[in-house]
Amino acid sequence: MTQSIINTKIKEFSATAFHKGDFVQVSDKDLAGKWSVVFFYPADFTFVCPTELGDLADYYAQLQQMGVEVYSVSTDTHFTHKAWHDTSDTIGKIDFPMIGDPTGRITRNFGVMIEEDGLALRGTFVINPEGEIKVAEVHDLGIGRSAKELVRKIQAAQYVAKHDGEVCPAAWQPGEETLAPSLDLVGKI
């Protein structure tokens, strides 16, 4: 990423996803009006990817309760997603849409395409109901992500969105104190 995409609007897209046994169309319009996570990973039938997707599937019910929809994306096709879902116990527990991006358009829109390989980096993007990117995290291929930490980041983003003038300090958890930036706090933290 050469420039930050934080607070920018997501670009238009339309793609086919595998979701709950069916092939469905998903577009940027499906993300409008709710919190969303777009979760890029390199490829189906690999090694770190199923550990991440399985971890995310374990937190999916909690994310749904928080009003968050999850969309996983790789440059594989929706057909490959179905085959992986049907043959892997870990991937078989996924209930969120698995978007196929074989042209790489969505992956490029979010700045996570590895051009020479045609694969996505491990990119996680939290998008608010207005379609603005509030969290952007990109990992190298060998570094897996934590769904537990993603939940905490979304909780913080949702808190800040509802409480104008407050910010969440490092490692903040729901129910803990926040900060109200002011001249009085300068040099005292």
Residue among 188, 124, 187, 189 at smallest CA distance from 157: 124
Which pair of structure tokens corresponds to residue 41? 């990973």
Cα gap 15→167, rounded to integer Å: 36
The one catalytic residue among 15, 17, 26, 49: 49
| pLDDT for position 183 | 78
Active site annotation includes 49: yes
What residue ranges of the chain have pLDDT lower than 50? Answer: 1
Residue 20: predicted pLDDT: 97
